[in-house]
A and B are shown apart, each in its own frame.
Chain A
Amino acid sequence: MGQYVVRRLILAVPLLLVISMIVFGLLQAAPGGPMGAYVRRGNFSEEDLRRLEERLGLNAPAYVQYGKWLGRVVKLDFGQSISERRPVTQSIRDRLPNTLYLMATAWIVTILIAIPIGVITAIRQYSWFDHLVTGLTFVGQSVPIFWLGLILILVFYIWLDNPFGDGPLLPAGGMYTLGQDFSLWDRIKHLILPVTMLSASWVAWYTRFLRASMLEVIHQDYIRTARAKGLREQVVVMRHAFRNAAIPLVTLMALDLPLIFSGALFTEVIFAWPGMGRLFFTAADRRDYPLLMAIIMITATLIVLSNLLADILYAWLDPRIRFR
C-alpha cells in the first residue's frame, strides 16, 4: 500500500504541471489583464503604464512568465498579489482560517443531520417521515442557494426581532460583532444563517445519497442472515447495514474536502464573510494572475490528494478492495 501511495503521488506531479500550464494559458488568453485597473483610473501616462507593466513582469512572453512562475512555485513562493499588493501567501493566510471555520462548521452540521436522517428514511421507507424528508430534500437540492440566503436575511434580520433585547434576531453578516469582546454566543449567532444556507443543499444531497445506499444494503442477503441470527435490529442496522452503506458516502465526503478550502462564493458574498471564495472572485475580477494561479493550483492539488485519500479510505473500509 505504501508503494501504491508513493506511485500515485509521483504521478500527481506531471498531472499538476499540465493543469498549471492549461490554467496559465487560459488566463493569458482571457481578454483584459491586470493593467486594466490602472488604465481605468485614467491618471497614468503611457510611460507610467509601460513601466508598471515591466515592473509587474507582464510584458514578457507568456512562456517566460510561466517559467518564472514555476521557478518560484517549486520554492513555495507564489509571488506578489497584484491587486492586494502583498505576498499571495499572506492574502491566503488571512482568508483561509475564516473559510475553514465556516466550511468545517457547515460540514460537521451537515454530517450530524444527514446521517441519522438518511438512515431513518431508509429503514422506514415509504413512511410519512420518509415522504416528508424526500420532499424537503428535493426542495433543498433545487432552491438556488443565493436566494435562500436572501430569504434568511429577510426573515431573521428584517422581519424577526430579538425577543430579549434590541435589534434583529440574527445579524445580517460578518463573523462577529465589531467592538465587542469575544463571546461564543455572538460567534454562533453569526454562524447560524451562513451555515444554514450552506448546509441546506449539502444535507439534501448527502441524505439522498445515504438513503439510496442504505436501501441497497438492507436488501442484501447478509442483512437477512444477521436478522436470522436473532441480532437486535439496532445492531443489524448500525453495525451491519450502516457500516457498509457509509463506504460510498465517505468517498463522497473525501472528494468534497477541497470545497472546504475553496470556500463558497455566494454564501460569503451574501453574509459578508471574508473567505476564500471572495478572494478568488476578486482575483479573477482584477485579473490578479499570481493570486489566481495560487488558489487554483492549491485547489487542484487538494483535489488530487483528496482523490487519493478517497481511494485509500475506500480500501481501508472495504477489505474486498486491494491495491495493485
Chain B
Amino acid sequence: MDDRSLSEQRADLFRQAGRMSRRDVMRRGLALGLSLPVIAGLLAACGGDDDEEPTAAATAADEAGSSPTSAPSGAETPATGASPATGTGDTPWYVDPAPGDPQAGGTVNYLLYEDPDSLNPYIGQTSIAVQVTTTILEPLAETLPDGSWSAVLASEIPTLENGGISEDLLTVTWKLREGVLWHDGEAFTAADVKFSWEAGKDVDAGSALASEFEKIASVETPDDLTVVVTYSEFNPAYVDQFKYILPRHATGEIADMMNWDFNRAPVGTGPFKFEEWAAADHVTVVKNEDYREEGKPYLDAINFLVVPSEESRTAQMLQGDAHVMLWPGSEAGDKFRDSDVAQVRLAPGIWTLAMRFNFSKPFDGDPGVEPPHPLFGDPEFRKAVGLAINRDRIANEVLNDSVLIDSPLSVGWIMSEVDPWVYDPDEAAATLEAAGWALNGDVREKDGVKAEFVCNGYTGYLPNELAQLAIQEDLKNVGISMKIENQDFAVIFGTWADNSPRMIGDFDALFYDDGLFIEPHDVLVRRYHPDMVPSAENPSGQNFMRWVRQDVGEWLDAAGSTPDRDERRASYQKVADALREDVVVIPVVQFTEGSAYSTRLHGFTVSTWEYSTWDAENWWLES
C-alpha cells in the first residue's frame, strides 16, 4: 500500500466522519449490524440525500459558535419560577417559535433507544432514565438555558442579597413553595428535602450521587417550608444541590433503597404522573391535574417508547407516529433535514474534544511531576505542536455536529476568551528548529531524543479516532511522529487503583472529550489545581497533565470562595489564559447536542444544561 492510497483512505474516512455524530457511537452497540451501507439507502423514500452540503445541524452549530452564551451575573431568579424566555431565534440554544396559543390535549410518543434502568435518579445510571424522571420528579431549582437559576420547588433562589446564604457562605436557607402536593395527594414539606439528602448521600444504600452531597454537614427543617443547609466548606454549586426531591412517605427505609417499589413506580410533584412501565417496551406518564401552573401541562400523556433500531425510530418520526427522537445520529439527521414532519433541534453541548500533554516524564514508575517530560517538558515544543495542528480542518472537514472552541473554559456562563489558536506549520517548524529540534530524516531529534510520542484515546468512538488521524498527519508535516494507541474506555478512564495510565502518569498525550457542567468549579479544581496531581494520597485528582502552577491554584481557590459569578468568571479567565499560554491542553471542538422533534410539537426549548424533558409542562401538540 503506497502513501497515496493511504491518504485516499483517510479522505474517505473523513468524509464518513462528516456523517457520524457522537450519538452514533454512543449507541453503536444497539445499532449492531443495522448501519451497514446496504441499509443506508433503505429509507430513501423518506427523502434526504448524501450530498456534502452542510446539515441543518451543522448550520445551527455554526450559529452556536458565533454567538457565545451570555449569562446574567449573579444568581438571578425570574419571579415566576419555571417559565423560560420565549424564543427570538437569537439564542445559541433552540427555542421553539410557537405558531399561536398552546392547544391542550394529545399524547406525545417519545422514542428512547434503550430501557431506563431505574426511575430513582439516585441509583439510576443511564441518561435515558433521567429523561423520564425529569417529567415526574422536581428539583428545588433548575438551570435556564442561559445558565441562570429558576426556583421550582423552592419559592426563591437563596442569594447573599435575600439572606438565603449566610455571610460566611456556609449556611444556605431554602424557602419552599407553598401548597405543592405529591401525586398521591400528600403535602410536600421540608422533611422531604431532608429525606432526599439523607438518601442521596448514602453510598451504602446505593446512591450514585453521594459525592454531590459531601460538603453538606447537616440539613435542618425549622418548619415545614424552610430548609437550612449547613456546609462544612463553601459549595459554589449550592443552588444545583437538590436536583431530585423524593417523597419520604412513598419510598421506604433508606438502607433498603435498592429495593424500593418507588424505583419502578415513582411518585413526584412534577407536571406528569407515573402511570405504567412495561420493561423494555414503554413508560407512560400522564397529566398531573393538580399541577401548580394553571392549564399546564398541556399534554394528556407522554409515552416513552423503547425502540432500539435507529432506522425504525427514524421511520416512526417521519411517519408522524412519534414526536421526539432522543439524540438521532447524523444518518437520521440527514433524513430529517428536508422533512416537514420532523427536524433536529440543537443546543451547544458540554463535551469538548481536546489533547492534553504530560508535563512529567512517563514510564519512570513515578507518578510525580519530576523529572520533566523529554518532549512536553519543553514549552517551545508544546507551542510548536499547537501551531502545527489544523483545527479548522478537524472542525469543518473531519467532524460534524461540532464547533471550534479555543479554551476548555469557553463554555456556559464562564465563557472565557483566550488568544485564538493559529495554524502555521512553517512557524511551528521554525520554533522547533530554534529550540534545537533538528530534522533527522522524517523525524526531528534533540540531544538524541527523537520527537516521537504516543497519543492515547479510547476505542470505539470514530470522531475521536478521525481527529487523531488528522492531528497525526499535521504533526508529521513538521517532523513530529505521533503514534495512536487507543484503549478500552475502562482502561483510559480507569482509576488510580486500576493503574490507569493517565492516573499514574504513564502516557505522553491524551486525546478524548470531557465536559463541564453548569457548576464547573469542583471539576476545574480537580483538573487544573496544582494540588490535584493524582497520587496515592490524592487518588481522585485529575491534573493528569501534572501541570503545577501555584498562581493557578490561587485563582481557582479565589473563584471557589465567592458566589458572585462576575468575580468567579474573572478568576477562571486567568486560569484559561494560563492554560493557553502554557499550551497545557489543546481544545479542538465542542460537540452540539439535541434531539429530533415533530414539527407538530411546540413550546419546547433545547437546553445545554437540563434533560430534554425539563420543560415538558410547556409542550403542546398542534392538531
Contacts and interface: CB of A to CB of B under 8 A. Distances in A.
Contact of A174 (B107, B281, B318, B539): B281
Interface string B12-43: 00000000000000000110111000110011
B315 interface: yes
Interface string B490-521: 11011111000000000000000011010000
A315 interface: no
B211 A44 contact: yes
Contacts of A157: 315, 319
A95 B495 contact: no
B211 A48 contact: yes
A96 B281 CA distance: 13
A159 B517 CA distance: 44
Contact of B43 (A33, A39, A154): A154
A231 to B, nearest CB: 51
Contacts of A150: 34, 39, 42, 311
A272 to B, nearest CB: 4
Interface in A218-239: none
Contact of A55 (B33, B203, B497): B203
Contacts of B305: 174, 178, 272
Contact of B514 (A42, A147, A151, A275): A42
A31 interface: yes
Interface in B277-316: 278-282, 284, 301, 303, 305-309, 311-312, 315-316
A279 interface: yes
Nearest to A282: B114
A80 B123 CA distance: 13
B263 interface: yes
Interface residues of A, number: 62
B493 A40 contact: yes
Given A33-B490, A85-B263, A158-B43, A46 B123 contact: no
A173 B307 contact: yes
A66 interface: no
Interface stretch (A199-207, A244-252, A263-271): A263-271
A47 interface: yes
B489 interface: yes
B450 interface: no
A86 B280 contact: no
B370 to A, nearest CB: 23
A278 interface: yes
Given A39-B490, A274-B278, A279-B280, A172 B210 contact: no
Contacts of A158: 43, 45-46, 315, 318-319
Given A46-B495, A51-B204, A174-B281, A271 B312 contact: yes
A172 B495 contact: no
B315 A153 contact: yes
B557 interface: no
B125 A38 contact: yes
A175 B489 contact: no
B282 A178 contact: yes
B29 A285 contact: yes
A178 B284 contact: yes
A151 B497 CA distance: 50
A55 B117 CA distance: 18
A37 B305 CA distance: 23
B494 A39 contact: yes
Interface in A122-177: 146-147, 150-151, 153-154, 157-159, 167-168, 172-175
A168 B319 contact: yes
Interface in B97-129: 107, 109, 114-115, 117-118, 123-126
Interface in A1-54: 31-33, 35-52
B489 to A, nearest CB: 6
Contact of B210 (A48, A178, A265): A48
B132 to A, nearest CB: 14
B321 interface: yes
B309 to A, nearest CB: 5
A84 interface: yes
Given A43-B212, A85-B118, A178-B282, A36 B43 contact: no
A91 B494 CA distance: 29
A146 B207 CA distance: 39
Contact of A274 (B29, B117, B123, B280): B280
Interface in B546-583: none
Given A55-B204, A154-B42, A157-B319, A84 B114 contact: no
B436 to A, nearest CB: 40
B206 interface: yes
A154 B319 CA distance: 11
Contact of A36 (B118, B279, B489, B539): B489
Contacts of A178: 109, 282, 284, 303, 305
A84 B489 contact: no
A172 to B, nearest CB: 5
Interface in B63-117: 107, 109, 114-115, 117
Interface in B517-555: 517, 539-540
A31 B211 contact: no
B540 A45 contact: yes
Nearest to B109: A178
B488 interface: yes
A263 to B, nearest CB: 11
A83 B117 contact: yes
Nearest to A35: B490
B301 to A, nearest CB: 8
A101 interface: no
B479 to A, nearest CB: 35
Nearest to B487: A31
A321 B515 CA distance: 68
A111 to B, nearest CB: 28
A75 B319 CA distance: 50
A269 B124 CA distance: 23
Given A83-B117, A158-B319, A266 B43 contact: no
A268 B316 CA distance: 16
A78 B269 CA distance: 35
Nearest to B39: A150
Nearest to A56: B206
Contacts of A63: none
A77 B494 CA distance: 31
A281 interface: yes
Contacts of B316: 172-173
A179 interface: yes
Nearest to B320: A167
B431 to A, nearest CB: 35
B258 interface: yes
Interface string A54-89: 010000000000000000000000001001111000
A83 B123 CA distance: 10
B56 to A, nearest CB: 22
A55 B206 contact: yes
A97 B491 CA distance: 38
Given A38-B208, A85-B123, 20 more contacts: A31-B488, A32-B490, A33-B490, A39-B489, A39-B494, A46-B496, A48-B208, A84-B117, A85-B124, A86-B259, A98-B281, A154-B43, A157-B315, A158-B318, A172-B312, A173-B312, A179-B303, A269-B309, A270-B312, A282-B115
Interface of B: 29-30, 32-34, 38-39, 42-43, 45-46, 107, 109, 114-115, 117-118, 123-126, 203-204, 206, 208-212, 214, 258-259, 263-264, 278-282, 284, 301, 303, 305-309, 311-312, 315-316, 318-319, 321, 488-491, 493-497, 514-515, 517, 539-540
For the complex of A and B, 5 pairs with smallest distance between CB atoms? A274-B280, A46-B540, A94-B279, A32-B490, A274-B281
8 contacts: A37-B126, A40-B493, A47-B539, A98-B281, A153-B311, A178-B305, A179-B301, A281-B30
Interface of A: 31-33, 35-52, 55, 80, 83-86, 91, 94-95, 98, 146-147, 150-151, 153-154, 157-159, 167-168, 172-175, 178-179, 265-266, 268-272, 274-275, 278-279, 281-282, 285
